[in-house]
Structure 1
Amino acid sequence: MSATTNQRAALIIIDMQQGMATVEAGERNNRHAEANIQRLLATWRQSQQPVVHVRHLSRSPESPFWPGQSGVLFQPALEPLATEPIVDKNVPDAFTHSGLERWLHARSIHQLVIVGVSTSNSVEATVRSAGNLGFDTYMVSDATFTFAKRDYAGTYRTADEVHAMSLANLDGEYAEVVSTEEALALL
C-alpha cells in the first residue's frame, strides 16, 4: 500500500470536538486514538499534505454539539490551522450537503485517510460515501473510536464490539482498514 506517484492523500479528521471527550459521551474504546490522530496530523502537516477538519453542528438545542456550546469546539491538541479547511455538517456523513466532494475534486485529491469519531456513526457514514464516490479510502482503525450501545435486539455491546463490527462492515467494501503505522507509510 502506497500513494501513487504525485498523488496527494488528504487526512480527514471527523468530529474531534470537546463534546466527544466528556464522560457523558459514554463508554468508549481506543484510548490512544487521539494520540494516533495527533501523530498522523503532525506527519501530514510536515509533509504539506491536505488536512480537512470535520465539525458536527447539531440540529437539536439539547445536544452538546449545538452551536455556541463548548462541546462544538475542537479538542485543543487537534485545533485546525488557519490554512486547514473546516467542513461543517449536521448529519453523520461529511459529504452530505457540505461541499467536501467538490473541494477534494477541485484539488485533484483521490486518496483519503479517515480518522476520528465515532466509528459506528459519522466515520462509518463518511467512509461509506467516500467509497461509493470512488475515492481510494483508508480508515485508520486505531485512530478512530466509538461508544458502547445496545444492539437492535437489546443486547449490550461493548465499544470494542461495536468498533469491530463497523470495521468489518467497511473493510474491503468501502475502504481498506489500516493501522496508524500503515497510514503513515502512505506518505
Structure 2
Amino acid sequence: MQLDDTAVLISIDVQQGFDLRPSGPRNNPDMEAHALALLAAWRAARRSVVVVRHDSIQPGSPLTPGTPGNALKRGFEPQPGEPLITKHVNSAFIGTDLETRLRAAGVRQVVLFGIATDMCVSTTARMAANLGFDLVVVGDACHTWSQHTPDGALLDGETIHRVHLTTLNSEFGRVVRTAQVIQALSPSAQAGAGHTAP
C-alpha cells in the first residue's frame, strides 16, 4: 500500500472502560499490541496523529467522564502536539471540530484504528469516506465483541468484525493490516512526511 503525504492516523476510543464492558467475549486479543506498534512506527516517521476519546452521556456507562473507565489505555494517550478530540456519539465527526482540523491541515487521507470495529470505528470510517477523505482502516488494530441478533441468536465477535471490515473494504475505502502500514512508513516510502498535526 501507499500512504498519502497528508495521511493522518486517528486512534478511536482505546479506553479502559471497554475492559469493563458487560458483553460477550471480544475478538482479536492482539489488537492493542498491533495498535501500539502502529502508533510507534507512525510517530517515528514524524507523521500526524489524532486521538479520539468517547465521553459518554449515557447513565452508568463505563466511559463516563470523571470515571476510571473514561481514561485512555496506557500507551494510547496523545503525545505533545497531538490533538485530543472528545465525542458523545459514534462518529468522531459529529459535534466535534475533527473535520475542520483535517480540512485546515489539507488532509486527504485518514487511517483509522480502535474500538469497536462495528460501532465507532465503522461509523467514523463511513462518514470519513462520505466526506471525501481517502479512507484506510487498519483491521487487525480493531476489535469488537460477540452480540445477540434481533432474534436472540449469539453472533461471535470475529464474525461481526470480519463482516464490518468486508463492507468497509467493498464500498468505503481499504482495509489493511498493521504490517502493511508499517512497511509503507519505511524510509524509502515516506518522502514528504513530517508535516504538523491538524
Q: Which category of TM-score, normalised to the shorter sequence, fits these structures?
A: over 0.9
Give unmatched runs, 5+ long, in structure 1.
none
Change in 2 beyond 3 A, CA 1:129/1:23: closer
- What does the per-residue CA deviation read over 1:115-157, in whole Å, with 9 as the maximum and x for residues that have no partner? 0000010000000001101111111110000011012232210
Q: What corresponds to 1:76 in structure 2?
A: 74
1:19 to 17, 26, 42: 17
Q: How does 1:102-121 map to 2 (within 5 A)?
A: 102-121=100-119
TM-score (norm. length: structure 1):
0.94
Going from structure 1 to structure 2, the CA distance change for 1:91 and 1:46 (only over 3 Å counts) comes to: same
Which residue number corresponds to residue 159 of structure 2?
161
Provide the C-alpha distance between the structure 2 equivalents of 1:73 and 1:164, rounded to a whole number of angstroms: 27
Q: Secondary structure at the match of 1:87?
A: strand
Query: What's the CA shift string for 1:46-83, capped at 9, x where partnerless?
Result: 11111011000111231111110001101012121131
> Number of residues paired by the alignment?
185
1:32-57 alpha-carbon deviations (Å, 9 max, x no partner)? 11011101111111111110110001
Structure with more contact order per residue of length (Cα contacts < 8 Å, sep ≥ 6): 2
Match in the other structure for 1:57: 55
1: CA distance, partners of 2:90 / 2:105? 24
* Local SS of the residue matching 1:172: helix
Contact 2:21–2:62 (Cα < 8 Å) also in 1? no
TM-score by length of 2: 0.89
**Helix, strand or coil at the partner of 2:172:** coil
Structure 1 residue 96: Cα displacement: 0.7
Q: What letter matches 2:15 in structure 1? A: Q
2:44 maps to amino acid? Q
1:94–1:76 distance in 2 versus 1, CA, 3 Å? same
Distance 2:35 2:68 in 1: 21
Alpha-carbon RMSD: 1.3
Residue 42 of structure 2: SS of its match in structure 1? helix
Which residues of 2 match residues 137-156 of structure 1 at below 5 A?
137-156=135-154
**Residue 98 of structure 1, aligned match among 96, 99, 102:** 96
Displacement, 1:22?
Answer: 3.0
> How far does residue 97 in structure 1 lie from its aligned partner after superposition?
1.2
Amino acid of the structure 1 residue aligned with 2:86: D
Question: Gaps spanning 5+ residues in structure 2: where?
Answer: 186-198
What does residue 64 of structure 2 align with? 66
For the 8 Å contact 2:20–2:62, the answer to whether it is kept is: no
